[in-house]
Chain A
Amino acid sequence: MKPKPSRSLIALSTSALTLPGISLADAPPTQSTASYKISNYQEDDLSRSEAPFGDLDRYDIDVHQFKLISPVGRDFSVNIDANYETLTGASPWFTSVGLDGDPDVNLSGASGIRDKRTEVSIGARYYLENGSIGSNIGYSEENDYRASYVGFSGERHFNNDLTTVSLAFSHSADDIFPTDAERFGRVISESKYSSSAVFSVSQIINQFSTIKTAFSTTEQRGFLSDPYKLIDFRPDTKTQLAWSNSYRRFFVDTNAALHLNYRYYHDDFGISSHTIDTSWFQNLGRNYQLIPSIRYYSQSAADFFTNIDDFLKPLNEYQSSDYRLAAFGAISGGLSLVANFGNWTATLTAERYVASDKYAAYNINQPSTALVKYNRVSLGFDYSF
């Protein structure tokens, strides 16, 4: 069972209404909002040519998300978040050389995998004259994984609220205890720690546009390998850096807004990546909004990535055939329809994601066969009171 990441530090540096400069004095939201979203995520099955033996079904996940945010008194807001996921399917177990010389994938879980994940987090925010500070804690659990996390953040406005600077810190402590550990010779129980910091500056350019730039750094240490792979050995520390830039622009004549985001990433496993995504928020009358979006992602391979597991390699040398450490590119496109009537908002979203070595911007020495393609649909509701 592949452990799933929890959504920790639920967008720490963005509070419920991160709208630039409503009033000079920062203030909690004026209303409470309760939100619920149900989603289905389904990966394309492998073809027989990719996986000559064993399972073809990949992941099928249902997700339920809940969120409540409320002002409390004059100066505070509190938020509660809860997530519940159920998962069935299989993930790549090992790769081998096929009859044609190209790598083949073998999926785990001949008996079918079922897993559930539950996550809860609570947070509070205190609003001052020119900014706010906040904190949250959370916990996530599934049958082979447990994580606890904590975060702090603060932001301050300058320059008549035209400029906002924010800083956020988070720390997470995770335990992994793989299923069927003894039967398959896996590690019994391991730990991992992760700390990160984000610094961002946002600026109102004019009445219609804003920009933001942010730097984040993350340190991980502990057991970073994948215990469910037949052979997977990674360093026990990892440093990650990311630099992201965002632009928002409102077009009065068209009654629409443009979102444009770019992120550059690099880590000391040797992976670099570019992510660029854009969305167009088109208002239709007073109650509807249509939002097409497109995203392009490309990453380079980790230094120790191999697309065919080498069982003859010494066990103290780093190695992984995990496709997420391979060089590849991915394109995804989505469409959302939002309906707003009074205190209610409903959002319907569909998204298609395709990863392929055809889309990669970086050189590929060893293409991975296990790249993922998926569909995702979501239906969400928000109620303000």
Chain B
Amino acid sequence: MPTARSLITIMLAVTLLSACSQVRPWERGYLAKKEMAWDTDALESALNDHIFFSKEAASGGDNAAGGGCGCN
């Protein structure tokens, strides 16, 4: 018997997928803008990851977690 949770997940997936469209290769001008990158400033995000890693408990997420870390 499908749970309420799996029904909600499917509904969300359907909603999301229906919002997706075929973006043709020549239509990717906006996506190509520097401000649309996942990481717009590599040194800035490296520095922030470094600071937050040493001042907070959480780490990791969308990049391989900081190894070589002295902060427990």
Asked if A and B touch directly (CB within 8 angstroms), the answer is yes
Residues of A within 8 A of B (CB): 2-14, 16-24, 35, 37, 39, 41, 63, 65, 67, 81, 119, 138, 140, 142, 145, 147-149, 151, 153, 160-162, 168-172, 174, 176, 194-198, 200, 202-208, 210, 212, 214, 216-218, 224-226, 234, 240-244, 246, 248, 250, 252, 256-257, 259, 263, 265, 267, 269, 271, 273, 275, 281, 283, 289, 297, 299, 302, 322, 324-325, 330, 336, 347, 349, 353, 355, 372, 374, 376, 378, 380
Q: How many residues of B contact A (CB 8 A)?
A: 52
A330 with B56: CB separation less than 8 A: yes
Residues of B within 8 A of A (CB): 16, 19-23, 25, 27-47, 49-72
Task: Count contacts between A and B, CB distance < 8 Å.
Answer: 263
A207 with B27: CB separation less than 8 A: yes
Q: Which of A206, A267, A302 has the most CB of B within 10 A?
A: A206
A299 with B28: CB separation less than 8 A: no
Smallest CB gap from A277: residue in B: B48
With A7-B50, A21-B23: A149-B40 Cβ-Cβ less than 8 Å: no
Report Cα–Cα, A125/B51, bound state, in Å.
27
In the complex, chain B residues whose CB is within 8 Å of the CB of A195: 67
**Interface residues of A: mostly helix, strand, loop or mixed?**
strand
Q: A11-B63, A18-B37, A224-B72 are in contact. List 12 more A-B contacts (CB 8 A).
A: A9-B67, A11-B42, A19-B32, A21-B25, A37-B43, A119-B68, A169-B64, A174-B69, A194-B65, A226-B72, A242-B59, A257-B35
Closest-CB distance, B60 to chain A (whole angstroms): 4
**Interface residues of B: mostly helix, strand, loop or mixed?**
loop
Closest-CB distance, B30 to chain A (whole angstroms): 5
In the complex, chain A residues whose CB is within 8 Å of the CB of B59: 218, 240, 242, 265
Closest-CB distance, A331 to chain B (whole angstroms): 13
Report Cα–Cα, A25/B70, bound state, in Å.
40
B57 with A267: CB separation less than 8 A: yes
A206 with B19: CB separation less than 8 A: yes
A197 with B25: CB separation less than 8 A: no
